[in-house]
Structure 1
Amino acid sequence: MNQPANRFPLKQLTLAVLASLALNPAAYAQQEEEAIEEVVATGTRLKGTATAVLEERKNQAFVADILGAEQISRTGDSDAASALRRVTGLTLVDGKFIYVRGLGERYSSTQLNGAAVPSPDPTRNVIPLDLFPSDIIESLSVQKSYSPSMPASFGGGNVDIRLKSIPTQFIFNVSGSLGYNTENSGDGLAYNGGDKDWQGRDDGSRAAPDAIAARWQNKDFLDSLDQDVALDLFSDVKRDYDPFLESVGPDAGFSFSVGNSYDVNDKLRYGFLVTSSYDNETTVSEEYELQQADRVQDSINVVRFFDDISVTETTVKWSNMINLGIDYNRNHRVDYSLIVLNDTRDEVSEKFGNTENLNQAEGLRIRDVEIEYEERKMFTNQIRGMHTFPELNFAGFDWKYSVGRSLRRAPGNFESRFVISDDNQDGVFSLDNEIGLNNSTTAARYSFQTLHDRLENGGYNITLPVSIENWEMEMKFGADFVTKTRTAENRRFDVNTRAFADSSLLLGSSYFDSVSDTVLADINNFNGAGPAIIRDTTIAGDDYAAGQKVDAYYVEGDFFYKNKWRFSGGVRWEDFRQVVAPFDPRTNQFDLPDEADRSQLAFQEDDFYPAFAVTYIKDESMQFRASIGQTVVRPDLREVSSSTFIDPLTEFPIAGTPGIKTTSILNYDLRWEWYREAGNNLSVGLFYKDMDAPIESVQSPAQDGPPLIRIANAETGELFGIEVEFLQGLEFIGKGVWDNMFVSGNLTLSDSEIQLDRQNIVDQTGVSAAVTNLERRLTGHSQYVMNLQGGFDSDNGEHSVSVVYNVFGERILIPGIDGFDDSYEQPFHSFDTVYKYYPDFNTTLTFKVQNILGETKELEFEDVLLRSETRGRKISLAIKYDF
């Protein structure tokens, strides 16, 4: 029976050394200190980065893939999201969310050290995985087949981010890095932000002035204001948002770790680990965005589009982690972790294009300036206990308690529109003398958003080993309790330039000049009886509160028969309760249509979720697995509300659907695994998922601007495919350099199909649903995903090189309507290389080149470009020193 491997996992260094010894048996006979050091160095680098986690994966009762810290370091990935795309069948969307086996982020759950964590995303339950820097990650576990100890909200898989724990000996290291993106070679857009932007913190200059904030607090909104009052309020608002060009500095980052453990006596040991990191990165890109197209017979006319978009995005990430642990006699251990993460995104864009009414045929163009600034923070306290009782046949009792909160602040986003007219009809739209701020009720918009998420998770697990003749058994009983609360608030107001008495004040390309202190101070510049300069555009549904509670109990058994057969399974019972209450900010009343019932805001279900797995262990190197499990996928918090909200990632408006049904999934998995000498391995897996009422996105027609996405249930759905994964040293080719090289990779081939009923969608959403394809693939599903990696390590252990390739097949991002086909995100060929130089045992130099092919992100329908974004090639150099 393999229980000890689960309770006391071998350290990665140990496994790596064992792998290296398997490669070189003569190392046993080497006695000199220098030779021993060489063996250790080679073992931790020569293929050990990929073999260190095989033992854990092999001992899992249910299908799982594990990615270790050394593997993440070797591929040069900077956060959990980018690292997970190396796992078989996983793809990365928007740089934040993981799709497992082609199922969207709603079909995956995320845990931190086995505990649920809050999300700073106002539109999703799942947490953006780019929030976790790779510096603090010990390993990433992706369980693809459901087991009763996992949350029942399980479709594609469960991602467990396991953070570094206290070390076995003293460590102290520091590292620094510099980076460059080829798209940043020229000047990038900038604006006058805040003095603390480099810290990832707004200094308060973007926030709504105290006078406006007080009115909102008192439910005294900016409606029908007198002009003098409006001018007085507006004069305190930040207006210096005009973009300008400046040189882009290099990306920079640093981190440090310090930790140690202390033996009080033969039985008692305690220790600590402190890590901190900071990263500042700027990306310049050129983009294209199509907003509306019309079909005229067999041709497609582009109506609304931005064909010239310049974007500069600066991200500031910092993380801090403190781990404390105490161990008694190797049988009782308690760990405490404090994790503080911050991810700030500051984006300025300048967009030139046409609308249906303002287009080049009429001698007009538009220029939009947008500022998007958001801070995402997560604070988590976790305490965990693991206890083994040898006197009770090594029975175990594990427990956990975690409380955390996340915060998303968008303290002051801004957008404005200018109109460029080719007055001299020379075909050139000049920004010097042919441009002016749009004369409209929405010439500019300010928005202010906050979200607070708090999540409390507690649970326990009891294991009881039993041996009877040819059977070795372990019974597991446990419980898991989750309580989550969320509040979100959104305020906005528009600048109404029709308040100006003299439209000549709008001329020029500077927003700040048109609404300067001098202009606002002269009341004669405004119509006496005209509209106020600002008007409140906060709408019902901008505020909402939500709560979620899950009480779960499970029983699970693990049975070994003659070390040949392993039977694992059990059942989980979950009582799930959720309520989402959208409010009208002006009245603080529920935002419900007159005919709606408040009961539609609440959702409750309880059910049993069984799972069963069987493993045939042919010998030490080969085994066969099969499993089946019943799971569920529930709608996200805002998707059960009828209010419309903007997805901050896609910028599409999304309208929820009260009464949306839960998706029920029956999961089947088969896998053959072959673990060979020196870490070489091969596995082939088959999977099938049968879904009832899958939650999907549909598009509502006749919208002005970006498409309105609605949430609805399809009738049925299925997903099936094959996964192949391998690791192979190249020593079989020949001696010499081939002994130090290996290749690894994985390939997933799959397909999916959902059935939609147009009338049922109309009945659910209450709007017309001119869906083009009633039979199509799942949104976000790629029919193929491939990862390949080649590695080389020098004989002396001083050099290592990795070449990494990743590609995914096209996937639906926006379902088509009105006869237009679905919009597909095109394959992105990611080709990276990482070189590491170890001049001594204390120093590591890392040189990394990413997106060597210079690929561009593209979205198309019917061979028409819908969106594109340049990514550039990233080059970085880092140095790490261990004291």
Structure 2
Amino acid sequence: MNKPANRFPIKPLSLAVLAGLTMTALPSIAQEAQQNEDEVIEEVVATGTRLKGTATAVMEERKNQAFVADIMGAEQISRTGDSDAASALRRVTGLTLVDGKFIYVRGLGERYSSTQLNGAAVPSPDPTRNVIPLDLFPSDIIESLSVQKAYSPSMPASFGGGNVDIRLKTIPSDFVFNLSGSVGSNFDNFDDAYFYNGGSDDWRGADDGTRATPASIANRWENKDFLDNLSQEEAVSLLKDVNRDYDPYLDSVDPDLGFNLSLGNSYDYNSDIRVGYLVTAGYDSETNVSEEYIGEQPQRNGDEIVMVRFFDEVDTTEKSVKWSTMMNFGIDYNRQHRIDYSLIVLNDTRDQIQEKVGNTNNIQLIDNRRIREFDVQYEERSMYTNQLRGMHTFPELGFLGVDWKYSLGRSARHAPGNMRARFLLDDDNEDGIYDKVTESSLTNATTAGRYTFQQLHDRVENYGYNINLPYTLGKWEMEFKAGGDFVTKTRSAENRRFDINTRAFANSSTLTGNLFADVLSDDALDAAEFTSTPIIRDTTIAGDDYVAAQKIDAYYLEADLFFDNTWRISGGVRYEDFRQAVVPFDPRTNQIDLTDEADRAQLGFVEDNFYPAVAVTYFIDEDMQLRLSYGETVVRPDLREVSSATYIDPLTEFPIGGTPGIRTTAIKNYDLRWEWYREAGNNLSVGLFYKDMTDPIESVQSPAQDGPPLIRIANAEAGELYGVEVEFLQGLEVIGSGLWDNLFVSGNVTLSDSQIKLDRQNIVDQTGVSAAITNLERRLTGHSEYVVNLQLGYDSDNGEHSASLVYNVFGERILIPGIDGFDDSFEQPFHSLDMVYKYYPDFNTTVTFKLQNILDEQRELSFEDTLLRSETRGTEFSLSYKYDF
């Protein structure tokens, strides 16, 4: 049969790679690619530039997709210099990056996108979200990133903005062995920065027990004997077991370091059997130093807005250590049956200390007083995933194809001991200088210090199958698909905390000093006089522990029909049976933290439905096509959002309260895209999209909070999103010869708008708290009205040099909805300009120099021309060397 996908010319190498990466690819296409393997090496050598080959491969896959999708290949990621999947995906049309971890597709928050790894569901180490933080995946193990923006029945029905599939490198066709190393820094790192005494294993991203809960306290918690009603002697004894050496100190910043290794090969046996393997390992250590401003509580004085609670001197040092290991093994029989096994291990440790000086409504400059606070946040995130995949073709059954997958993954978040302490600075000599050493004392408060300990474990099992049968009838070339997809997810989370209550001291002069470890040293505790108030206060609350489970059973039918090489009609329907339960516990009693039976019933979330989709493609000519698609999808609340317990979002540091009974968002998706694929990878596409949403899940703010705003989850009444996307790649040889032959420009622009309608009373009824919402009609949270990506690239004639200048910017977007008459708080546009230069002195060697955030932009959040938050990002630079043996 003449396969529809072969209607477009495609290189055998590209076809082989794509068939190996995509489980739903036609088995017969994979067979044809393998049979043409002898031609592969010739074609690679003949490719004119490093850009053209990769751009052509990616464009060929994109235009052969039945539903609208954007794809980014490994070489494209390398050219832009992005270090992980999250930063690379911001280059894709209509995508923006939030907090360096989560992708917003077409202005829809991370809840509106789903993420897969090699086509399978994976666990998340984030305690507040279902979706996985995409910065976990280093770019060195990624073969390509696929973002499907138009829903198809083979995709999860939980589909709003799109589905991101991270496709990792697979078994090579020839021997591969390469090593690379890198060194770099940030211009903001050249001065001394704040650090604290961590553990001896911090260099490898593991706590050696320095931050861990002391055994005396851990045993009490384990036995449900919490730190309540302690005698003073018990409290002091327990405090002596606690690590108190977290005080910040200034020191020089070490350079960033990284290395990567890849080793792989494949072997033929008896011309029928091929086996192969690929092993990769990587390490990256990086430090970022920044200056921040944090405003927390605005107050309107006439026409002026002032912050009554803020930190205007914030110095932050964040160290990250990442490990990655991937092992792939595969066997192929007779080019018709292939089985692949993958093991992926990812570890990402974040270690941050903040030194902050500011004021509150009780501690003000007018009284010659300031508040000083230091905050240590340490977390280890890890993910382990085993995947087994099979692809089988049966020529004797009309080239019937059977694909199957099995994936078992576990993730964990280990925060063994975060700590915060607060001091008072009194300008006793009234010289206008608040000396942190001589004019300091630990605050006399119930929360002079706070220790938190957190654990989270996530487990996801995903298996499925796909059966496809090609069939030809006259001018019709058809393929019929049927499949099933089954996901089981379980999660458990545990949180413990206790505060240091300095009102336990009978004499406040005992608190004088600038070091937490000295003020509360063993000697100081032995010499102190105490009141009857215990110095340790357990502040673990009901809802800090929870378990959750989710199960999805899905079946789908699809048909892909070509008529006369002119029309392509694809579509089908998916049925999903979705069940979810979230149970918050009272850690002290281990009982469910709900007394109301109605609330208990709302924690169970059950629904089943059919989700149809159809796409029509009209081939205007050999290089031009027009696509139209429609799909019905759903977005469900995250695990913690259906529980009334309050939790802290580790990314924004805002407290968030879930809402039992939150409703599912129903979405109708419309897409129209015109695509023009031209010679040498040049292309142009223009797309229109529209989404009609019922009950969109949104964030609202609850008033009267002392500190960061309390964010609540609620349903808006209705919402819509619409826009236009333009994408292009063009070699500049059209301008003239000479240097122009070596230059190209590529990029994409997305212009869009959104609107949601909220009902104030309905939100009050749903959340149970006051919701003095300022704007009842506004844009979606996180939506940018424009996103621009531009790239100017250069490839030398001799192939020894390549360079890229890459620009990215997004329009302002709402992060905190406004209340009490204050407008919404917008994250301001961030103009990112990066440069990547690569030198290839010989066939085996690559030298790369990267310069990122050349414009030295900083992140800002503001409302009504009032700064709410800011953070410097600095300009990063790095030099790497790679050698292929």
- Shorter chain as denominator, the TM-score bin is over 0.9
Aligned-pair CA distance for 1:14: 8.5
Describe the superposition over 1:447-486 as per-residue Cα deviations: whole angstroms up to 9, x where unpaired.
0000000000000000011110010110000000000000
Whether 2:610 is the aligned partner of 1:608: answer yes
Distance 1:556 1:6 in 2: 21
Determine if the alignment matches structure 1 residue 849 to structure 2 residue 854: no
> What is the distance in 1 between the residues matched to 2:7 and 2:117?
18
- The aligned counterpart of 1:30 is none
Taking a change above 3 Å as real, the CA distance of residues 274 and 595 of structure 1, as seen in their structure-2 partners, is closer
Contact between 2:345 and 2:382, CA under 8 Å: does it hold in 1?
A: yes
**Alpha-carbon contact 2:49-2:799 (below 8 Å) kept:** no
Corresponding residue number in structure 2 for 1:21: none
CA distance in 1, matches of 2:278, 2:598: 54
Question: Within 1, Cα distance between the matches of 2:419 and 2:642?
Answer: 29
How far off its partner does 1:564 sit? 0.5
Do structure 1's residue 73 and structure 2's residue 82 form an aligned pair?
A: no
The one of 432, 448, 471 equivalent to 2:476 is: 471
Asked whether the 8 Å contact 2:3–2:477 carries over to 1, the reply is no
Q: CA deviation at 1:428?
A: 1.3
Q: Could you tell me which residue of structure 1 aligns to residue 708 of structure 2?
A: 706
Structure 1 pair 152/9, CA: closer, same or farther in 2 (3 Å)?
farther
Which secondary structure does the structure 2 equivalent of 1:280 belong to? strand
Deviations 1:569-595 (A, max 9, x none): 000000000000001100111112546
Q: Specify whether residues 843 and 484 from structure 1 end up closer, same or farther in structure 2 by C-alpha distance, changes over 3 A only.
A: same
- Aligned residue for 1:435? 440
Q: Deviations over 1:38-83 (max 9, x none)?
A: 9827535143333321100010000000000000001100000000
Give, in angstroms, the shift of residue 733 of structure 1: 1.0
Structure 1 residues 6 and 560: CA distance shift in structure 2, 3 A: closer
Alpha-carbon distance in 1 for matches of 2:452, 2:480: 54
- Contact residue 209 and residue 236 of structure 1 kept, 8 A: yes
Separation of aligned partners in 1, 2:409 and 2:44: 43
Structure 1 residues 405 and 39: alpha-carbon distance in aligned structure 2, compared to 1, 3 A threshold: closer
Greater Cα shift, 38-47 or 105-114: 38-47
2:524 match: secondary structure: helix
Do 1:268 and 1:328's aligned partners in 2 also have CA atoms closer than 8 Å? Answer: yes
CA shift, 1:726, in A, is: 0.3
Q: Corresponding residue for 1:660?
A: 662
Deviation at 1:636, TM superposition (A): 0.2
| Aligned ranges 1:132-171 → 2 under 5 Å | 132-171=137-176
**Distance of 2:407 and 2:678 partners within structure 1:** 40
- 1:532 counterpart SS class: coil
- Match of 1:282, as an amino acid? T
Which AA in structure 1 matches 2:529? F
- Residue number in structure 2 paired with 1:333: 338
**1:524-580 per-position Cα deviation (integer Å, ceiling 9, x unaligned):** 5132x5211111000000000000000000000000000100000000000000000
Give the aligned residue type for 1:423: D
Identity of aligned residues (%): 73
Change (3 A) 1:2 1:749: farther
Structure 2 distance, partners of 1:3, 1:538, is 61
Name the SS of the counterpart of 1:840 in structure 2: coil
**Equivalent residue, structure 1, for 2:807:** 805
Which amino acid is the alignment partner of residue 673 of structure 2?
R
Among 861, 878, 884, the alignment partner of 1:859 is: 861
- Decide which of 435, 446, 463 is 2:451's aligned counterpart: 446
The secondary structure found in structure 1 opposite 2:652 is coil
Query: Aligned to 1:618, what secondary structure does the other structure show?
Result: strand
- Scaled by the length of structure 2, the TM-score of the pair is 0.96
Q: Distance in 1 between matches of 2:809 and 2:612?
A: 35
Structure 2 match to 1:644: 646
CA deviations over 1:124-154 (Å, ceiling 9, x no partner): 0000000000000000000000000000000
Q: In 2, are the aligned partners of 1:437 and 1:511 still within 8 Å (CA)?
A: yes
Q: Offset at 1:518?
A: 1.2
Q: Which AA in structure 1 matches 2:183?
A: L
Partner of residue 392 from structure 1, selected from 382, 389, 397: 397
1:341-397 Cα distance to aligned partner (Å, 9 max, x none): 001000011000000000101111000000000000000000000011112221100
Contact in 1 for aligned 2:284/2:322 (Cα 8 Å): yes
Q: Does 1:262 align with 2:267?
A: yes
**Matched residue SS, 1:118:** coil
SS of alignment partner, residue 621 of structure 2: coil
Distance 2:98 2:6 in 1: 34
- What does 1:95-134 align with in structure 2 at a 5 Å threshold? 95-134=100-139
- Note if 1:512 corresponds to 2:522: no
Give the equivalent residue in structure 2 for 1:197.
Answer: 202
Runs of 5+ unmatched residues, structure 1: 17-35
Query: In structure 2, what is the Cα distance between the partners aligned to 1:271 and 1:674?
Result: 38
Q: Distance in 2 between matches of 1:812 and 1:526?
A: 51
Deviations 1:672-707 (A, max 9, x none): 000011111000000000000000000001111000
Q: Identify the residue that residue 589 of structure 1 maps to in structure 2.
A: 591
Please state if 1:382 is matched with 2:409. no
Q: Secondary structure at the match of 1:74?
A: helix
Superposition deviation, residue 4 in structure 1: 6.0
Residue identity in the other structure for 2:612? P
What pairs up with 1:659-808 in 2 under 5 angstroms? 659-808=661-810
In 2: Cα distance, 1:197 partner to 1:542 partner:
27
> Secondary structure of 1:372's match?
strand
Look up the SS of the partner of 2:48 in the other structure.
helix
Q: Secondary structure at the match of 1:235?
A: helix
Residue 426 of structure 2 corresponds to residue 421 of structure 1: yes
SS in structure 1 of the partner of residue 241 of structure 2? coil
Query: Paired residue for 1:598?
Result: 600
Match of 2:465 among 442, 460, 465: 460
1:555 partnered with 2:560? no
The letter of the residue matching 2:486 is F
Aligned residues: 861
> Aligned partner of 2:844: which letter?
N
Of 390-399 and 716-725, deviating more is 390-399
| 1:613-648 alpha-carbon deviations (Å, 9 max, x no partner) | 000012210000000000000000000000000000
In the TM superposition, what is the alpha-carbon distance from 1:5 to its structure 2 partner? Answer: 6.4
Contact 1:9–1:56 (CA<8 Å) still a contact in 2? no
> How many Å separate the matches in 1 of 2:342 and 2:43?
35
Q: State whether residues 46 and 740 of structure 1, in contact with CA within 8 Å, keep that contact through their aligned partners in structure 2.
A: no
Equivalent position amino acid for 1:421 in 2: D
Instruction: Find the residue that maps to 2:206 and give its secondary structure.
Output: coil
Q: What residue identity is the alignment partner of 1:571? A: V
What is the CA distance between 1:330 and its match in structure 2? 1.2
Q: Which amino acid aligns with 2:427?
A: D
Amino acid of the structure 2 residue aligned with 1:766:
G
Q: Deviations over 1:655-678 (max 9, x none)?
A: 000000000000000000000111
Contact in 1 for aligned 2:391/2:401 (Cα 8 Å): yes
Q: Is the 8 A contact 2:4 2:477 kept in 1?
A: no
Residue from 274, 281, 306 that aligns with 2:279: 274
* CA distance in structure 2 between the aligned counterparts of 1:652 and 1:357, rounded to whole angstroms: 21
Checking the alignment, whether the CA contact within 8 Å between 2:342 and 2:386 is kept in structure 1 is yes
Give RMSD over aligned pairs: 1.6
Partner of 1:233: 238
Contact 1:47/1:742 (CA < 8 Å) preserved in 2? no
Comparing 420-429 with 40-49, greater Cα deviation is found at 40-49
Structure 2: distance between partners of 1:806 and 1:778:
21
Question: How far does residue 10 in structure 1 lie from its aligned partner after superposition?
Answer: 4.6
Could you tell which deviates more after superposition, 590-599 or 563-572? 590-599
Q: In structure 2, how many angstroms separate the alpha carbons of the residues matched to 1:794 and 1:488?
A: 54
Contact 1:633–1:662 at 8 Å: present in 2 too?
A: yes
2:218 is matched by which residue type in structure 1? A
| Structure 2: 5+ residue stretches without partners | 19-40
Give the TM-score normalised by the residue count of structure 1: 0.96
1:228-258 Cα offsets, whole Å, 9 max, x none, are 1111111111110010011001100000000
Quote the offset at 1:11 in angstroms.
Answer: 3.2
Instruction: Show the 5 A alignment for 1:502-581.
Output: 502-520=507-525, 522=526, 524-527=527-530, 529-581=531-583
Answer whether contact 1:49 1:74 (CA < 8 A) is retained: no
1:25 matched to which residue of 2? none
